[in-house]
Structure 1
């Protein structure tokens, strides 16, 4: 069973420059992988944030996934616990960077 997830960022940002990459991003990664209901969206968001932290990818794409995690129901308390746990494996400075980004995303939830 799959969810109906529509993503257009690939085509919007790279469609003319890299149409095949854009198509795979929008249709396969989001249209099939993220839409597969084997894992719930909160779990998928937790995985993605953890992988990004482990790779040291603290950029606008991580911010997008923090915002998505919030939309997927990950609370302030949960994101704090996820980042703390991952920081021990990904590196303390990465944890600090992600916390600073997460604070901005979750600021309205005070």
Structure 2
């Protein structure tokens, strides 16, 4: 039996409360308590992979959180800008532009 460790992550609960208990469970307990805590990749690398996927898919609502989270996980603003420029050529220019707009908002809102 696997013992459940908790990182204290409550993003799912904060977003959905009692409205969608399954989404809360899988977000908080599985995704953030288990997947993000695995030893195979650093949180920094997981952040870059997540930013790449969300940019390629054009998922700017989720990207807003994950760009800020990437910064918390040690990815610099310049590295994020360069990552988004690189992705624009592989994920489509409109997706790269949209992601860069989101990053600009994340940075400006912190300052």
TM-score where L is the length of structure 2: 0.85
CA contact (8 A) 1:42 1:73 kept: yes
Aligned match of 2:43:
41
Matches within 5 A, 1:14-93: 14-59=16-61, 61-93=62-94
Alpha-carbon distance, 1:13 to partner: 2.1
Aligned match of 1:103:
104
Q: Which consecutive residues of structure 2, in runs of 5 or more, have no partner in the other structure? A: none
The CA distance in 2 between the partners of 1:20 and 1:30, in whole Å, is 14
The CA distance in 2 between the partners of 1:70 and 1:63, in whole Å, is 11
Alpha-carbon distance, 1:25 to partner: 0.8
| C-alpha RMSD over aligned residues | 2.1
TM-score where L is the length of structure 1: 0.86
Q: Residues 32 and 18 (structure 1 numbering): CA distance in 2 closer, same or farther, change over 3 Å?
A: same
Q: Which consecutive residues of structure 1, in runs of 5 or more, have no partner in the other structure? A: none
Residue deviations 1:25-69, cap 9 Å, x none? 10000000001122011100000010001111112x211100001
